[in-house]
Amino acid sequence: MSEGAGGRVSRGQLELLGTGTSSGVPVIGCTCAICTSDDPRDQRLRTSAALRFCDPTGLDRIWLLDVSPDHRTQALKSGITRCDAILITHTHVDHVWGLDEVRRYNAIMESSIDLFAESNAIETLERIYEHIFHAHRNANNSFVANLIANHVTPGKSIERHGLRMTPVRLLHGRLPIVGWRIDTVDGGDGGGLFPMAYCTDVSGIPPETYAALRDLKTLVLDMLRFRAHPTHFTVDQAVAHASEIAAQNTVFVHMTHDIKHSEVDPILPAGMSLGFDGLRLPCAPC
Ligand SMILES: [Zn+2]
Ligand SMILES: [Zn+2]
Ligand SMILES: [Zn+2]
């Protein structure tokens, strides 16, 4: 037990492990100004995040929000050495094809890891990762992840480690997916981060979800590019929805190589900014 835990969640910090669209930026073989930019904020691994916090018993915890194909690189850069829960938004390749890598956390922690996702997402994961979810069929007793799948339903909260996670319905084109709202059970802000919501890969927000996104301190929201796209918010759409949700601090993710950080970030309204790989929220006051 660390001192000062006081039975409350503390030191909440959300690190953006990746902020790029499905191809990542630079895009393979592209020589555009952004793909060749020497600004590190223009280099984007695939979108995912790590939520670090100290639980009410004083234990340091890390939850992952999606596990991108870049997870190994992201974990090494970020210094992630444990995983206490995995929250899945949807099963597109750029969000879950790093799941195999979490076997290292199983080995370090000598325990299974709870994974939280909708039933259709769990069915897909069981098919993609048959060697994990049906390990008894493997020919050899090899080094595979040990995951426990927990089925979730939008609007129904689950409490773990002093936090309350609530999946909220989002539309990703015609595909219904979830974002995640996370509150402390104790009602505090855990050091300035909570309540927070993580809403990537969005092109539409149903009315009931707006109600579930009230009073946020921190919002992570999808913003693909300026031109229209059938399954993601444009810059204008993202800003409009962020204005309506009105979180204290909104950070945008999942950008393509049309977005130059140094040009787009300054034109965003107050309280909104572009995310970049390695950004940790809440930002230190500047
Ligand atoms: Zn995506
Ligand atoms: Zn490019
Ligand atoms: Zn997607």
Q: Say how many C-beta atoms besides its own lie within 10 A of residue 112's C-beta.
A: 11
Q: How many angstroms separate the CA atoms of 237 and 139, rounded?
A: 50
Q: What's the CA-to-centroid distance between 201 and ligand 3, angstroms?
A: 5
User: Residue 185's Cα: distance from chain center in Å?
Assistant: 20
Please give the single-letter amino acid code of residue 55: D
Please, what is the end-to-end C-alpha distance for the chain in angstroms? 32
Whose atoms come closest to the Cα of 223: which ligand? 1
Q: What's the CA-to-centroid distance between 199 and ligand 3, angstroms?
A: 11
Predicted pLDDT of residue 2:
47
Q: Say how many C-beta atoms besides its own lie within 10 A of residue 155's C-beta.
A: 15
Predicted pLDDT of residue 4:
47
Q: Is 193 helix (H, G, I), strand (E, B) or coil?
A: coil
Q: Say how many C-beta atoms besides its own lie within 10 A of residue 164's C-beta.
A: 17
**Per the structure block, which two tokens stand in for 131?**
């060697």
Q: What's the CA-to-centroid distance between 259 and ligand 2, angstroms?
A: 10
Q: How many angstroms separate the CA atoms of 54 and 122, rounded?
A: 28
Predicted pLDDT of residue 41:
98
Q: How many angstroms separate the CA atoms of 276 and 255, rounded?
A: 9
Q: What's the CA-to-centroid distance between 157 and ligand 1, angstroms?
A: 24
In this structure, the strands spanning 272-274 and 158-160 are unpaired
Whose atoms come closest to the Cα of 27: which ligand? 2
Predicted pLDDT of residue 263:
98
Please list the pLDDT of the chain residue by residue as tens digits (286 residues).
444 456 999 999 999 999 999 999 999 999 999 999 999 999 999 999 999 999 999 999 999 999 999 999 999 999 999 999 999 999 999 999 999 999 999 999 999 999 999 999 999 999 999 999 999 999 988 899 999 999 999 999 999 999 999 999 999 999 999 999 999 999 999 999 999 999 999 999 999 999 999 999 999 999 999 999 999 999 999 999 999 999 999 999 999 999 999 999 999 999 999 999 999 999 865 4
Which residues have CB atoms below 5 A from the ion given as ligand 2?
Answer: 27, 30, 32, 35, 257
Within a 13 Å sphere around the CA of 160, how many CA atoms are in the beta-carbon half?
18
Q: How many angstroms separate the CA atoms of 193 and 10, rounded?
A: 10
Whose atoms come closest to the Cα of 66: which ligand? 1
Whose atoms come closest to the Cα of 46: which ligand? 1
Cβ burial, residue 247 (10 Å; 0-12/13-18/19+): buried
User: What is the DSSP secondary structure assignment for residue 177, as one 8-state letter?
Assistant: E
Q: What are the backbone angles phi and psi of residue 167, rounded to the nearest 5°?
A: -70, 135
Predicted pLDDT of residue 1:
43
pTM for this prediction: 0.96
Residue 88 · residue 48 · CB < 8 Å: no
Predicted pLDDT of residue 6:
66
Predicted pLDDT of residue 284:
67
Q: What's the CA-to-centroid distance between 270 and ligand 2, angstroms?
A: 28
List of domains in the chain: 10-274 (3.60.15.10)
